[in-house]
Chain A
Amino acid sequence: MSPIVKLLAQRIALSLLLLLLISIVIFAGTIVLPGDVAQSILGQSATPEALANLRAELGVNDPPVQRYFAWLFGAMQGDLGTALTSGQDIAQALSSRFWNTLFLAFWAAVVAVPLAIFLGLLAVRFKDRWPDKMISAVTLASISIPEFLIGYVLMYFIAVKLRWFPSVAMVNDNMGLFEKLNAIALPIAVLTLVVLAHMMRMTRAAILNVMQSAYIETAELKGLNAFQVIYRHAFPNAIAPIVNVVMLNLAYLVVGVVVIEVVFVYPGMGQYLVDHVSKRDVPVVQACGLIFAAVYIGLNMIADIVAILSNPRLRHPK
């Protein structure tokens, strides 16, 4: 087996192992912590019999290991259990919300990624001049501002004062693509702002790192023009770090979605999760937590895989 295949296999296996461990952590986290689910659901005034009945129904009395495996095997077959509060099938309730969340994150990425890379390149091109300095200032500001503030500021000025876009991002299956995009314009803008600064700062650093290599000097001393230097010598070496930047930020985006969905009352998975945390609906929280973690781990894995694939030392072993 060539070393590169071995490395890739190892990386994928690591992700699966990580996911398994995380499922244990999530499951354990919800049973070892203080607090009684049945009590939370029924409230302080519940009778002991009602509590006992609910506990039996929840399977709380079974040994934890047995419950964990039951839950895990269920999850692997797409059975995420039923929500305690509504009695709904979680997988069913989640499916449309999951796609809504992906839809939002996807379009935010479509806007944010090219923009961030372009601005990152701009910052490199005008290093230490005003465009670069402005980008640093914006970065500083944006990591200091909570996502929901950006959300409300945009909502206040653009939706309420200017009335350009709706302030609440309601979507349903009957809407056309354009209608949907119009509805989520503001959340997309907010998510873009949230990841943009970070992503362009990292892109800038990644490209500068490559541009300071000795082989770029060699290329310049061959009399190549700036475009040739960047296209032939900087670009092949910058792919991996840039993909890495993009993946890390997409992972960040997926989490940022949770808050933004609440702000704009968007019917996605994040809002569903937050809702059920307040209701202490543990099976729903576990399911959502697992899905978010899986997406997050998956994106990080892709970043590493690209880095492995683009490393000439691994692609062309001695």
Chain B
Amino acid sequence: MKNIPISALIGLFFTALYFLGAIFAPLLAPYGVGEVVGDVWEPSSADYLLGTDNIGRDLLSRMIYGGRTTIFIATAATVLSFTLGSVLGFFAAVMGGWIDQALSRFVDLVMSIPTLIFALVVLSVAPVTIPMLILVMGLLDATRVYRLARAVAVDIEVMDYVEAARLRGEKTAWIIFREILPNALSPLIAEMGLRFIFAVLFVSTLSFLGLGVQPPEADWGGIVKENKEGIVYGIPAALIPAFAIATLAISVNLVADWVLNRTTSLKGGRG
């Protein structure tokens, strides 16, 4: 693992840190997630490293548990969007014809409505639960992944080496997994990073609007919402989760950028 630029190392370090924090949340958090331990909006102290929130809960503990929820939802939505989008995208590219047309036109249609608006319309009738959020975000985002996966696969599809494989008599599965996938992997992995960031931002935005994770469950967007009244009184509690969102997103972005740059020139994938 040499030759990793310093920016990517920083990105990897913080990404790992956040994920470990999410996994070991119960071990790390000093207090329970809903436990009222102090006064409203206490400043930071030895007991409460980040102070307390709008009803006197320990902000650090809520941040750690909130991170767990946010990262879990974002990861699940990314896995869903990614699996669905790339499988359908490759499938459309390789099959062509009416299958490709039908899928692509449907995706065009969904993408012609802004994601947030679409999600709001759906959430106005559907029950706002965590599985529902994952489903809505995953499905909406799958359209973006589909577009990219299809475009990348179509580019590779027209290469002579794919034609050579067809002329050899190879099956569709071989063509997808042995000829196309290895060459599509790096843009897709970079895209996965971006989709994850988008999912984090999106679930936070929804929670901030009060349409995402419902109290007493904590997540970063929700913590901003709970503490936003404090801003006007000069209490920066709401900025802390926002800061966490931004650093996580930037870290993942740095890693994704590196993955994309590293493999723009193909030298046998050993670089």
Query: Are A and B subunits of one complex?
Result: yes
Among the 9-residue stretches A118-126, A154-162, A224-232, the one with 4 or more Cβ atoms under 8 Å from chain B is A154-162
Q: How far is the CA of A152 from the CA of B239 in the complex (A)?
A: 7
CB of A145 within 8 A of CB of B249, answer yes
- Complex Cα distance A43/B126, Å? 15
Q: Which of B116-124, B165-173, B175-183 makes up part of the contact surface?
A: B116-124
Q: Are B109 and A21 in contact (CB under 8 A)?
A: yes
Interface flag for A282 (CB, 8 Å): yes
Contact call A297/B112, Cβ cutoff below 8 A: yes
Stretch from A27-35, A61-69, A103-111, A215-223 forming part of the interface with B: A27-35
Q: Are B253 and A143 in contact (CB under 8 A)?
A: yes
Please tell me if B9 contacts chain A, counting CB pairs below 8 Å: no
Interface size class of A (residues with CB under 8 A): 35 or more
Residues of A within 8 A of B116 (CB): 255, 258-259
* Complex: A53 Cα to B30 Cα, angstroms: 51
Contact present for B113 and A22 (CB under 8 Å): yes
Asked if residues A167 and B231 are in contact (CB atoms below 8 Å), the reply is yes
Residues of A within 8 A of B204 (CB): 146, 148
Q: Is the CB of A149 within 8 A of B245?
A: yes
Q: Which of A235-243, A271-279, A309-317 lies on the face that meets chain B? A: A271-279
Quick check: is B259 within 8 A (CB to CB) of the other chain?
no
Q: Is the CB of A282 within 8 A of B246?
A: no
Residue of A nearest to B117 (CB): A292
26 contacts between A and B (CB under 8 A): A29-B118, A31-B125, A33-B125, A34-B125, A143-B253, A144-B250, A146-B201, A146-B204, A146-B221, A147-B205, A148-B224, A149-B224, A149-B243, A149-B245, A152-B228, A152-B242, A160-B231, A259-B208, A274-B120, A274-B211, A278-B211, A280-B124, A282-B124, A285-B120, A285-B124, A293-B117
Residues of A within 8 A of B118 (CB): 29, 289
Given contacts A18-B112, A33-B125, A149-B243, 12 further A-B contacts (CB under 8 A): A22-B109, A29-B125, A30-B125, A35-B126, A144-B201, A144-B249, A259-B208, A274-B210, A277-B209, A289-B120, A296-B117, A297-B112
* Cα A68 to Cα B171 with chains together (Å): 46
Residue of B nearest to A263 (CB): B228
Interface residue A25 (Cβ < 8 Å from any Cβ of B): yes
B38 contacts the other chain (Cβ, under 8 Å)?
A: no
Give A132-168 as 1s and 0s: 1 = Cβ < 8 Å from B's Cβ atoms: 0000000011011111110011011000110000011
Of all chain A residues, the one with the shortest Cβ separation from B119 is: A277
Please list the residues of chain B having a beta carbon within 8 angstroms of any beta carbon in chain A: 109-110, 112-114, 116-118, 120-127, 197, 201, 204-205, 208-211, 221, 224, 228, 231-234, 236, 238-239, 242-243, 245-246, 249-250, 253-254, 257
A143 neighbours in B (Cβ, 8 Å): 197, 249, 253
List residues of chain A with CB under 8 Å of any chain B CB: 18, 21-22, 25-26, 29-31, 33-35, 37, 140-141, 143-149, 152-153, 155-156, 160-161, 167-168, 251, 254-255, 258-259, 262-263, 273-274, 276-278, 280-282, 285-286, 288-289, 292-293, 296-297, 300
- Give Cα A35 to B125, complex, Å: 6
The reply to whether A30 and B224 contact each other, CB–CB distance below 8 Å, is: no
Task: Give complex CA distance A277, B242 in Å.
Answer: 23
Q: How far is the CA of A31 from the CA of B121 in the complex (A)?
A: 11
Distance in angstroms between the alpha carbons of A285 and B250 in the assembled complex: 33
Shortest distance between the CB of A161 and any CB in chain B (Å): 7
Residue of A nearest to B248 (CB): A144
By beta carbon, the residue of chain B nearest A262 is B209
User: Contact between B125 and A259 (Cβ–Cβ < 8 Å)?
Assistant: no
A141 neighbours in B (Cβ, 8 Å): 246, 250
Bound form: Cα–Cα A226–B83 in Å: 49
Q: A33-B125, A152-B231, A285-B121 are in contact. Are A144 and B253 (CB under 8 A)?
A: yes
The smallest C-beta distance from B209 to any residue of chain A, in angstroms, reads: 5
Q: Are A152 and B224 in contact (CB under 8 A)?
A: yes
Complex: how many Å from CA A185 to CA B138? Answer: 36
Smallest Cβ-Cβ distance to B252: which chain A residue: A144
Pair count A-B, CB < 8 A: 147
CA–CA, A130 and B117, complex, Å: 38
Bound form: Cα–Cα A288–B121 in Å:
9
- Bound CA–CA A300/B197 (angstroms): 25
Residues of B within 8 Å of A273, CB to CB, are 117, 120
Closest to A293 in B: B113
Q: Are B121 and A29 in contact (CB under 8 A)?
A: yes
Closest residue of B by beta carbon distance from A147: B205
CB <8 Å contact, A293 and B114: yes
Interchain CB contact under 8 A, B126 and A145: no
Q: Which 7 residue pairs across A and B have the least CB separation, nearest first? A: A144-B249, A149-B242, A285-B124, A255-B114, A144-B250, A277-B124, A145-B246
Chain B hits for A155, CB < 8 A: 231-232
Q: What's the Cα separation between A148 and B116 when bound, in Å? A: 14
With A29-B125, A35-B126, A149-B242 as known contacts, state yes or no: A140 contacts B250, CB within 8 Å: yes
Min CB distance B225 to A, Å, is 9
Contacts of B228 in A (CB 8 A): 152, 263
Given contacts A140-B257, A282-B125, contact A148 B208 (CB under 8 A): yes
Q: A152 to chain B: which residues have CB within 8 Å?
A: 224, 228, 231, 238-239, 242
CA distance in complex: A128, B69 (Å): 40
Determine whether the beta carbon of A277 is less than 8 Å from that of B224. Answer: no
Pick from B114, B121, B197, B245: contact of A26, CB below 8 A. Answer: B121
Q: Which B residue's beta carbon lies closest to that of A31? A: B125
Residues of chain B contacted by A147 (CB below 8 angstroms): 205
